[in-house]
Structures are given as structure tokens and as C-alpha cells.
Amino acid sequence: MWQNHNYAVDPASLPKGVEVTHINLNDGSCAGLAFPALNVMSLQYHPEASPGPHDSDSGNQSPFLSLLVPFFFSIFCTSMHNIKSLFTI
């Protein structure tokens, strides 16, 4: 394994509940992890074949976006509640 300057995650060492989500096709090393119980995920790669802001897009089915929508909706609701309380007599 040579991912990220000779450092790599050994999938066998991951705690229970952590999932390998991406594997480097060049060397078979772990390139992405997720821990659904805590809504945590990571990704370590940059696809050089298509550099730019959309090189890693997975379309509308992105697990990352599915985590962000409820998060930002919660912030929006809290903000609206706080604003409403400013104008309550």
C-alpha cells in the first residue's frame, strides 16, 4: 500500500461500524471511510484524469449531500425560531 505518501489505513484495524467506501484502484489501498453511527465520512484522493471542481461528483446520489441537507435544514429551522422569538411580544 502506498496511498498518501506511504501512509495507508489497514481495513482490518478499523473499529466496528466503520466501513470502507472507496478503494484505490491502482494499489488496492483504502481511499474512503464512513462511520454511519456518527454521520462521519472521509475521502483521500484526487482523480487527476479530470481535475477541477466536479472531478469527484457522483451526481445527485451523493452520500455527502444526503448528510448536508438535514444538517442545514436543522440550522435553518433553529435560525427561524430565533428570529421569530425576537419579534414576539
List, for residues 25-56, the tens digit of each pLDDT value. 778 888 888 888 887 888 776 655 556 666 55
Sheet holding 40-43, edge to edge: 19-23, 30-35, 40-43
pLDDT at position 67: 67
For the beta carbon of residue 27, count every other beta carbon within 10 angstroms.
11
Mean pLDDT over all residues of the chain?
Answer: 75
pTM: 0.53
Q: Which residue has the higher pLDDT, 24 or 34?
A: 34
- CA dist 41 and 63 (Å) reads 9
Helix, strand, or coil here: 20? Answer: strand
Q: Which amino acid is at 44?
A: Q
